[in-house]
Amino acid sequence: MEPLFGEFGKGVREIQMAQHNTAQRSSDPIPPPDKIPISLGINGVETTLRVAPWTTLLDALRDHLELTGTKKGCDHGQCGACTVLVDGRRVNSCLTLAVMKDGAQVTTVEGLATKEALHPLQQAFIDHDAFQCGYCTPGQICSAAGLIAEGKAKSPDQIRELMSGNICRCGAYPNIVAAIQQAMGGKS
Amino acid sequence: MTSIDRRSLMQGAAALGAIAGSRAYAENADRTVTMVKQDTTASTPMTNYIGTATSRVDGRAKVTGEAKYAGEFSARGLAHAAVVESAIPNGRISRIDTSAARRVAGVLDVLTHENRPRMADTDKAWKDDVAPEEGSPFRPLYDDRILFSGQPIALVLAEDWETARYAASLVDIEYDKQAFVTDLHKQLDQAFAVKKPEKPHGDADKAFAAAAVRHQAEYFIPTEHHNPMELFASTVTWDGDGKLTVYDKTQGVQNVQRYLCSVFDRKPDDLRVISPYVGGAFGAGLRPQYQVVLATLGALALQRSVRLVLTRQQMYGLGYRPATIERLKLGARADGTLDALSHEAIAVTSQFEEFSRNDTGWAALLYKSANAKYVHKLAKLDLPTSSDMRAPGAATGVYALECAMDELAIALKLDPVELRLRCYSDKDQNEDLPYTSKALRECYSQGADAFGWNARKAEPRSMRDGSDLVGWGMATGVWEALQMPVAVRIGLGANGHAEVFCAASDIGTGTYTIMAQVAADTLGLPIENITIRLGDSTLPQAPVEGGSWMAASTAHAVVATAEEVRGELLALAKKIKDSPLADAKLEDVTLADGRLVSKRDTSRAVSIADVMRQGAVERIEKEKTNTFADDKKHARNTHSAVFAEVKVDEQLGVVRVTRVVSAVAAGRILNAKTAHSQIMGSVVWGIGMALHEETVFDHRFGRIMNANIAEYHVPVNADVHDIKVIFVDEPDSLVNPMGIKGLGEIGIVGVAAAIANAVYHATGKRIRDLPITLDKLQG
Amino acid sequence: MIPFHYARAADVADAVRMISADPSAKFIAGGTNLVDLMKDDVERPSRLIDISRLPLKAIESTADGGLRIGALVPNSDLAYHPLIEQRYPLIASAILAGASAQLRNMASTGGNLLQRTRCAYFYDTVTPCNKREPGSGCSAIGGINRIHAILGASEDCIATHPSDMCVALAALDARVRVTGPTGERTMAFNDFHRLPGNTPQTDTNLQPNEIVTAIELPALGFASNYSYLKIRDRLSYAFALVSIAAALELEGGTIKQARLALGGVAHKPWRNTAAEAALRGQRANAASFARAADLLLRDARGYEHNAFKIELARRGIIRTLTQAAQATPQSQSDKKIR
């Protein structure tokens, strides 16, 4: 078997084929992973679901619960669009296995507003035009909620640094910082 | 259907031909679809909203997560798809074995070129509105040919996404590899010239050789990828009776609709494309992308609804800003005026299509030179076809031009702004046409004032902040001010609520909001009473949202259609017994505060509610296609002046962009808030272009090695500080009646040059190859 | 990602039993590196043993005046803990320079040690990589190697360890406590990570059926004179090209003791005790720092795209030691480099 990129040693190809042949040796169907029942408090609502171990919290929210407010931007913890609060802390839900969070309280963007009003961050984002296409926005807002709860950002520099885990390709950053300052009660 | 190039899109008749195939709508609407040449005496709307800082009308949907994007629409029995990509850049699939993948429980099917449903077999059928004229569009899963690394070569369909992804890893492929080239610098001698509209003047080579002061240099912009935050995705729902609804990430639902009908031989009424929200596109969604073809293939094969979401890695198998070499030669007199200007661009395209834009034609708009020469060459590489990416051609070409002008200013010992003013062109030298308006001088002066440019010390390395070197640089920006025919339908209810329909997209640009503002002002209603419905191929015709043309195009379409509504209301009002508007003419009445009112005597008015109630009409619906008079007598452009401050830690090479001022002349600004955001966001793009962005290839494999959003660097929050945006007053009644020029792209043009020029000013080091990374500054 | 079984360990002994029973199993705590690698099919465990709920989350002073940090303390908790802020601020600074706030909330101390390289060829299963598939070749040598090693590399592998926290732990002479089937042991931090040699597939000296339970810090935290400087291609949320942890014990203007560790330059955090010894007794000035840098970088070797790291490291070492000497540690949020 010719290696895929010939000038290298044994060739990745051969090694991949060896792994692959193990799967191919049998002609039996490959069974699906077992689903495990878990219980999550999603925006205050106790929710039980059955998920395979490989299902991330992000996919559980979007595909199993049809809570599509939380976004998939990279699926590898590199952009922050999937940020939610788990037990009050901001995390990347794309790298969180749902089964590991059995029993946790999860807050998504859908859980921020009350029946009466938008969350102060949501209103501030609208006021300051802290979004354009809107795709990174739920992640930005949940991340900002987490940032405020952490209480470590005391200056615009610190807000910028501590929000750098949320990429905005539309470039709304200065407005995002202004919106967060407004929600914090500082000067807008 | 022939592909439509940019120029013919501007001609109303040709564009209307493209409407063929849009699905008829069902309502009992008194609708008139007419082409109306824009009347220059059309009444200017009231401006309660136009021009103000109105918050986005789709803001609530976006901040609550209610806004749904293409991969978020559900359907009964939805199947999920995953793509298998080619590992090699050129050759053939000699064997593809899907048997292991098929044995995974939950896998429904695996499609390859060997078993896919039928697709069209002519290039013509595959050419969408934006396809290059030359070449054959890429056909996903069509045959065994491999054209680029990352090419989709199999589609796994399963009950859930993780199963599809896992099964995709079990598809086994043997390749018949062929030689390939992915490095522009290795293909330069194969590059061939393409025709561009810019005509040479005089003898640029001779004049350059004889010039008193000469500057000649080569600049380089690497491959860049759009990387919108939303992953490309399509959800195709199987509606029964052969009907499909396609939720797609796209900048043009009707383009996608025509394309899919043509590729899959569907009747136009049987295929509808919907895209109410787009998570950024920046040009990546102008052409239909391969996931919409694959999702449709999947739905046809399974006769079920299918969703396909590409991975971030797979996004690097789509279009991109081509790597471009820009060669500039400027020959000047001692006083700074130009005698010779030569601009050669060499850019990348695929082996199978010739994509190029305008890199070299901007100098003729900006700087007078009796002698000028322009050459644009393409090198074909084993890559996907390059594509439009925010200010295509200008982001690259003007980067080089503005760095070259900066270097010339230094050689001339002239202030960079002063040089621009001395070379200033009051006309488009290519076409020998005056501008509809060009407030670029005001951009220079207002931008310079706001920046504090007067305090600049010309000498490099002469300004410091503690141990940091401070640099101030500037550049000119220029872009097109285009406009397209757009149709809008307005439905006005007796309750004073109006719906506005159009197939246009809002890709983050603010189209929903500006249309609502214009509708509110022209219908005399509060903006809360306006609902805008966009992004549906069954809605009135719109071209792709791109080229910065949508603001002007949709605004005028709303005005034109609102006029029809006003006409209908007046007709009804006249029929009222003892009508206060019995003798009024259409141009004498306006809509304000929910009433139809005489402009001559505002006491003569009837409320919309009364008019419609008395006329026993519950709803007035009008549709109109607005076109623009074809003006061959003027050039139409937007302009800007960008000023940037950098602080450089010279020891380590770390550059911070601490301040940017962008002064923009773009005619009438419809929304102060969203306009500011467009320019500010474009400046962030410029920072990324200058300091961060580069798609990195390993040419031994013909493969992208930073196909993710961690190692492909776009600016993060900490990279961005002060950005000030100024809109220079530029009234313009020639470009179009409302004087709108569009803002989506002007903001990026020149920013990278301003930053590169600032870095030079700070350090005395001229880096011509982007991005300016710290290793390049190490000296 | 291949399908896998999932189970939770009830306690440390249970965790050791479970991993000993299944050689293709892996522990999962924060998951920020492992889940990422599993999605790319670089890691293909057939079983994940969830250790995230084990009682390894305490931070407590030890009898000798040091500190014991449970392996499951999240990175952010560690960075903001009062005992760390007061006594070992170098660690706090290093942690806060890394990743993002979200990832720091998720990642565990133990997991931070065990994270794998960011080499693009390691991640891309199409390209040859000796670390991922021994014997297949190293694509980085002769390829795109901007972020790769300049010290301690081999013909088989030039990958770097991407952690920031580990650089600080290396500088402070931390120890790693692990538990396996035969009981507990500790390792000097410098002995935890390996050089690639001809076995690049093995990142650490943790045995296959051992679990990291704690990090132990000695009493000396260099809280008065320290700095962590991270130099990268954008101002945040990016891995280091070069990072430097510097710590000094000063008497007047003379160095009593010095610690110097580099990140982004080797398969493990790079310490050179000869360079540190050379600083002892010297004045805390640029000339001394330059000599130490030259010693530390004497055997540095660059490749086509990363040779710039040698001079960058040299300048970075001098700068960071200067910051430490002046007690002006680099702020991770003020992007001006002092």
Q: What is the pLDDT of residues B578-593, one digit of tens each?
A: 999 999 999 999 999 9
Query: Residue B116 has what pLDDT?
Result: 98
Task: Give the pLDDT confidence score for residue A33 in this predicted structure.
Answer: 86
Tell me the pLDDT band of B5, cut-offs 50, 70 and 90.
very low
The ipTM value here is: 0.98
pLDDT at C145 over 80: yes
Q: Give pLDDT, residue A26.
A: 62
Cα gap B686→B747, rounded to integer Å: 8
Q: State residue A6's pLDDT score.
A: 57
pLDDT at B76: 95
* pLDDT higher than threshold 50 for residue B45: no
pLDDT > 90? residue B49: yes
Q: Pick from B56, B104, B228: which is nearest to A169 by CB?
A: B228
A53, C1: Cβ pair inside 8 Å?
no
Give the containing element (helix H, strand E) for B660: strand B654-665
- Kindly report, residue by residue over C78-89, the tens digit of the pLDDT: 999 999 999 999
- Under an 8 A CB cutoff, do A110 and B64 touch? yes
Choosing from B545, B693, B694, B745, the catalytic residue is B745
Percent of chain B whose predicted confidence (pLDDT) is above 70: 94
> Which of B498, B487, B483, B485 shows the shortest CA–CA distance to B536?
B487
How far, in Å, are B88, B585, B592, B622 from residue B596 at the CA level?
66, 12, 7, 17
Alpha carbon of B652: minimum distance to chain C alpha carbons (Å): 6
- B745 flagged as catalytic: yes
Average confidence (pLDDT) over C181-207? 98
Residue-wise pLDDT for B351-401, tens only, equals: 999 999 999 999 999 999 999 999 999 999 999 999 999 999 999 999 999
Contact B708, B311 (CB under 8 A): no
Q: Are the beta carbons of C308 and B711 separated by less than 8 Å?
A: no
pLDDT band at A18 (very low <50, low <70, confident <90, very high): low
| B311-349 pLDDT per residue, tens | 999 999 999 999 999 999 999 999 999 999 999 999 999
Structure tokens at C130: 């000796």
State the average pLDDT for chain A: 90
What digits encode the pLDDT tens for the residues B603-651?
Answer: 999 999 999 999 999 999 999 999 999 999 999 999 999 999 999 999 9
State whether A76 and B708 contact (CB < 8 Å). yes
Residue B52 identity (one-letter amino acid): T
- pLDDT, position B16: 36
Task: Look at A78 and B312 and tell me if their CB atoms are within 8 Å.
Answer: yes
**Chain C residues within 8 Å of chain A (Cβ atoms):** 1, 3-6, 28, 31-32, 35-36, 38-39, 48, 50, 52, 76, 80, 99-103, 105-106, 125-130, 133, 135-137, 139, 235-237, 332-335
Residue contacts between B and C (CB atoms, under 8 Å): 88
- Residue scoring higher pLDDT (A29 or C18): C18
Percent of chain B residues topping a pLDDT of 90: 93
* pLDDT of amino acid A28: 78
User: B32: pLDDT confidence band, cut at 50, 70 and 90?
Assistant: very low
Tokens of C305: 């795209």
Q: Round to whole Å and give the CA distance between B753 and B424.
A: 18
Contact A132 B677 (CB under 8 A): yes
pLDDT of res. B39? 38
Nearest of B524, B614, B530, B608 to residue B569 by alpha carbon: B608
Give yes or no for residue B25 having a pLDDT over 60.
Answer: no
| Set of chain B residues whose Cβ sits within 8 Å of the Cβ of C3 | 166
How large is the average pLDDT for residues B45-61? 90
Q: Which of B166, B466, B651 sits opposite C315 (nearest CB)?
A: B651
CA distance C119 to chain A (A): 15
**pLDDT reading at B3 higher than 50:** no
- pLDDT interval class at B15 (50, 70, 90): very low
pLDDT beyond 80 at B238: yes
Flag if B708 and A72 touch (Cβ within 8 Å). Answer: no
Mutation target vs B (from C124, C139, C304; most B CBs, 10 A cutoff)? C124
Output the CA torsion sign for B723, B312, B743, B423: positive
Determine the residue among B229, B720, B743 to mutate to test chain A binding: the one whose Cβ has the most chain A Cβ atoms within 10 Å: B229
Q: Find the residue in C nearest to B651 (Cα).
A: C315
- Amino acid of residue A123: Q
Q: What is the pLDDT of residue A158?
A: 98
CA distances from B751 to B346, B421, B546, C279 (A): 21, 19, 20, 46
Q: Note whether A54 contacts B228, CB cutoff 8 Å.
A: no
pLDDT band at A29 (very low <50, low <70, confident <90, very high): confident
Helices (H), B637-699: 672-691
Amino acid making up residue B77: G
User: What gap in Å lies between CA C55 and CA C10, rounded to an integer?
Assistant: 10
Q: Please tell me the predicted confidence (pLDDT) of residue A15.
A: 54
Q: Name the band, by pLDDT with cuts 50, 70 and 90, for residue A14.
A: low
Residue of A nearest to C103 (CA): A91
More confident residue, A99 or C208: A99
pLDDT band at C230 (very low <50, low <70, confident <90, very high): very high
Please indicate whether, in this complex, the C-beta atoms of C102 and A158 are within 8 angstroms of each other: no
pLDDT at A8: 57
**Exposed (0-12), middle (13-18) or buried (19+): which is A141, by Cβ within 10 Å?**
buried
Is A66 within 8 Å of B74 when comparing Cβ atoms?
yes
How many angstroms from the chain centroid is the CA of residue B11? Answer: 20
3-state DSSP call for residue B311? Answer: coil
Q: Extract the tokens encoding C9.
A: 């360990």
The tokens for C170 are: 């290396």
Whether A147 has a pLDDT exceeding 80, the answer reads yes
Cis peptide before B485 (omega within 30 of 0): no
**B166-176 pLDDT tens trace:** 999 999 999 99
Q: Residue B18: what pLDDT?
A: 33
Residue A31: per-residue pLDDT: 84
| Residue-level pLDDT at A30 | 82
The mean pLDDT of C270-295, rounded to a whole number, is 98
Predicted confidence at residue A32, as pLDDT, reads 81
Q: Residue B708: list chain A partners with CB under 8 A.
A: 74, 76, 78
C: neighbours with 3+ CB pairs under 8 Å?
Answer: A, B
Q: Do B773 and C233 touch (CB under 8 A)?
A: yes
pLDDT score recorded for residue A16: 58
Per-residue pLDDT at A126 exceeds 60: yes
State the smallest CA–CA distance between residue C44 and chain A in angstroms. Answer: 11
What does the CA dihedral A94, A96, A101, A105 come to, rounded to 10 degrees?
-50
Pick the residue from chain B with its C-alpha nearest to C310. Answer: B775
Q: How far does C186 lie from chain B, in Å, by closest CA?
A: 35
Q: pLDDT, tens digit, for every residue of C196-225?
A: 999 999 999 999 899 999 999 999 999 999
pLDDT in tens, B474-523: 999 999 999 999 999 999 999 999 999 999 999 999 999 999 999 999 99
Assign B30 a pLDDT band (cuts: 50, 70, 90).
very low
Q: Which residues on adjacent β-strands are paired with residue C262?
A: C244, C270
Tokens of B531: 């609902």
Three-state secondary structure call for residue B288:
coil
Q: Is the pLDDT of residue B37 over 50?
A: no
Kindly state the average pLDDT of the residues B560-582. Answer: 95
Would you state the torsion angle of the CA atoms of residues B683, B684, B685, B690, taken in this order, to the nearest 10 degrees? 90
How far apart (Å, rounded) are the C-alpha atoms in residues A72 and A132?
17
CA distance linking residue C127 with residue A4, whole number of Å: 9
Mean pLDDT within B214-241: 98
Q: Is the peptide bond preceding residue A3 cis, with omega within 30 degrees of 0?
A: no
**How does residue A12 score in pLDDT terms, banded at 50, 70 and 90?**
low
Which of C49, C121, C122, C136 best tests the A interface by mutation, with the highest count of A CBs <10 A? C136
Average pLDDT, stretch B64-87?
Answer: 98
Cβ-based interface (< 8 Å): residues of C facing B: 1-3, 41, 118, 120-121, 124, 126-127, 139, 142-144, 231, 233-239, 241, 308, 311-312, 315-316, 319, 333, 335-338
